């Protein structure tokens, strides 16, 4: 079921599928929309109630100002859950969506039953990475966002998977091109300014699962292992046939692992 709703003063599009005692909230990545979760959500929906929405600045949800902080996005997610009378949730965030999930866990940890991060990390941007975000902002402001939207989708997949998922790559490129320039800029500014959440995770009351890909071009295996070593409290895995979008590349395995983790 797809609907539009005002969540904390922001107009958003969301989907509500499946049924079960536990609720799962899916938070998509940068330049994506709720459609990226379609197949994965359909499988999870066999055992859980699954919610997904276009994060403000993406899809057809509203752009709200010059900067979308991770806290603002987390507040929007909380407002949606309040609208739907959900008081306990299992959050899954992919990449940038993981940053939003972490902000949600920081602000609303008492209602989080579990947090799963796909290809995301709890640290803040380094000065070098923040500078990269500024360069991306300049590209968008100069009217050349196609330089980002044409490159990013293919980089999500392990090299051996890119041909097999060429149709998905094309769909993701189309989603990215439909993202409003103002939304991209607001998101990039918010990502660059986000807080370090490592300490929060060490103290958090909720269960945690980290999923990485061996062939990830954005978070390489060495860096993934460093993150795993820093967080022994979390269940972690590096999937051997995935790049930066394992819930597409190894969907069946991810459904089994995430479903078992949430159902614990």
pTM of the model: 0.97
**Average of per-residue pLDDT across 115-137:** 96
Sequence-ordered alpha helix ranges (H) in 4-155: 38-44, 70-83, 96-108, 127-141, 146-149, 152-155
3-state secondary structure of 27: strand
* Whole-number Å distance between alpha carbons of 184 and 170: 19
Assigned fold of 2-263: Rossmann fold (3.40.50)
CA of residue 191 relative to chain centroid, distance:
12
Structure-block tokens of residue 176:
């990215």
CA of residue 78 relative to chain centroid, distance:
15
Reported as a pLDDT band with limits 50, 70 and 90, residue 148 is confident
Q: 36-79: per-residue pLDDT in tens?
A: 999 999 999 999 999 999 999 999 999 999 999 999 999 999 99
Q: 110-124: per-residue pLDDT in tens?
A: 999 999 999 999 999
């Amino acid at each position: 079921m797809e609907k539009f709703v005002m969540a904390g003063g922001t107009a958003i599009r969301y989907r509500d599928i499946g049924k079960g005692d536990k609720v799962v909230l899916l938070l998509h990545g940068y330049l994506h929309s709720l459609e990226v979760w379609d197949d994965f959500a359909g499988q999870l929906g066999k055992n859980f109630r699954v919610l997904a929405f276009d994060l403000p600045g993406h899809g057809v949800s509203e752009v709200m100002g010059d900067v979308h902080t991770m806290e603002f996005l987390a507040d929007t997610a909380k407002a949606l859950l309040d609208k739907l009378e959900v008081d306990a949730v299992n959050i899954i965030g992919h990449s940038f969506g993981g940053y939003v999930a972490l902000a949600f866990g920081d602000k609303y940890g008492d209602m989080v039953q579990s947090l799963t991060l796909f290809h995301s990390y709890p640290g803040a941007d380094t000065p070098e990475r923040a500078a990269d975000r500024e360069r991306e902002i300049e590209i968008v402001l100069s009217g050349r966002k196609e330089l980002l939207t044409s490159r990013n989708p293919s980089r999500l997949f392990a090299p051996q998977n890119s041909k097999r998922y060429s149709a998905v790559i094309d769909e993701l490129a189309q989603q990215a091109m439909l993202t409003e320039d103002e939304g991209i800029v607001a998101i990039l500014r918010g990502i660059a300014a986000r807080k370090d959440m490592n300490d929060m995770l060490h103290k958090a009351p909720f269960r945690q699962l980290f999923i990485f890909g061996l062939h990830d071009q954005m978070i390489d295996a060495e860096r993934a292992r460093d993150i795993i070593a820093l967080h022994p409290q979390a269940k972690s895995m590096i999937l051997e046939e995935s790049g930066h979008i394992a819930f597409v590349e190894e969907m069946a395995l991810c459904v089994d692992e995430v479903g078992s983790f949430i159902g614990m």
